[in-house]
Amino acid sequence: MFGDRLRVPVIALLLLVASEPARAQPAERFYPGRQMVLIVGGAAGSGYDIIGRMVARYMGHHLPGKPGFIVRNMPGAGGVVAANHMNSVADRDGATIAVVGREAIFDALFSGAQSKANYDSRQFLWLGTPNQEVGMAYAMTASGIKTIEDAKKREVAVAAAGATSGSAVFPRLVNALLDTKFKIISGYTGSMDGLLALERGEAEARVVSGFAGPEANAVMAWVEQGKTKLLLQIGINKHPGYLTIPHIVDLAKSEDDRKLMELVFVGQALGRPFFGPPGIPADRSRALHQAFARTMEDPGFKSDADRQKIDLTPLLADDMSRIVTQAYNTPKSLLERAIKISAAAQ
């Protein structure tokens, strides 16, 4: 009888320990054997996908217990679909992170009432980016478009993805800021699909928010062959590799327009933004921060980036968070101009 009475609380205690919620486990016990998930807010084979898979190959090595990652592509609305998922669907236990189109990070801020975003990007757990981005406008030589000035003289068909993707938003932004006449032909699911459209003559140009990875590699080969002309680099800072290519900020008509451009293109500094959902426990947040930072220094990761011809210019969590917060703290008058232009570009 006494033994039976003792057995019940012992069994109950064992069950309680066995069923300890994952959320209560410290990072050192949570991550070993865990199946990590990286959500990529872009199509398979896109620049975001390639860089995302590179990070996934190495980041687990720098978490306790070296858990493995699986990658899930979740394209849609230029990354807004994936970011919405991270905010409202993804578990907040520290096992899911994401990389999405940088325009999606500020969609709620710049798109106003048109935004489909359900998140405040300041609430995400920021991890960092492997590289800061420069956007690029380029045209096939056969189109006769040799300079950005030529794109102001007639309509130029540009191959783009969805309506809110960077390859659709950026040509509209350039149209609004420089009076160019880029005409968006949408429906091309990724950068490689867009390049095929140029080769088939379905479009004449591309205006992209990120010029890196496979697209940049292919286009620069075309430049060497005389098949393509680079027209304009787009971002806050000039890229050292394209110093002879006009920079959009240098073409601003006034100081106010220059400040507007710097705000509209603030996302370029975020590059390929990696983050977790809000509410991850503090110790796991620290583990993720450390793992991402160590991945940026991992010799294997650097070697992979070199093979892919990706320039690594990483920013880490604190800088990413600061950039996002500063954008949200923009003076109202300037933000209203940016919202007006950005909403029209959507």
Identify whether the C-beta of residue 305 lies closer than 8 Å to the C-beta of residue 77. Answer: no
**Residues near 227 by beta carbon (within 8 Å), at least 6 away in sequence:** 140, 141, 142
Q: How far is CA 255 from CA 266, 336, 342, 343, in A?
A: 16, 17, 19, 22
Size of the chain in residues: 346
What's the pLDDT tens digit per position in 141-185?
Answer: 999 999 999 999 999 999 998 877 889 989 999 999 999 999 999
Burial class of residue 284 in the structure, from the number of CB atoms within 10 Å of its CB (0-12 exposed, 13-18 middle, 19+ buried): buried
Q: Which helix (H) or strand (E) holds 216?
A: helix 213-225
Average pLDDT over residues 307-315: 88
Nearest to 215 by CA among 141, 309, 82, 132: 309
Q: How far is CA 282 from CA 27, 136, 278, in A?
A: 9, 39, 11
State the pLDDT at residue 16: 41
Average pLDDT over residues 3-12: 48
**Residues near 298 by beta carbon (within 8 Å), at least 6 away in sequence:** 58, 61, 62
At position 82, the amino acid (one-letter code) is A
Judging by DSSP bridges, how do beta strands 182-185 and 96-99 pair with one another?
Answer: unpaired
State the pLDDT at residue 225: 98
Q: At what angle do helices 213-225 and 47-59 cross, to 10 degrees?
A: 130
- Region at 285 (left for phi over 0; alpha for psi -120 to 50; beta for the rest): alpha
What are the structural domains of the chain? 8-132+271-345 (3.40.190.150), 135-267 (3.40.190.10)
Residue 294 has pLDDT above 60, yes or no: yes
What Rg value do the Cα atoms of the chain yield, rounded? 23
pLDDT band at 194 (very low <50, low <70, confident <90, very high): very high
Q: Which of 23-27, 209-213, 218-222 has the highest mean pLDDT?
A: 218-222
What's the pLDDT tens digit per position in 273-283?
Answer: 999 999 999 99
What is the C-alpha separation between 199 and 66, in angstroms, rounded?
Answer: 43
At position 160, the amino acid (one-letter code) is A
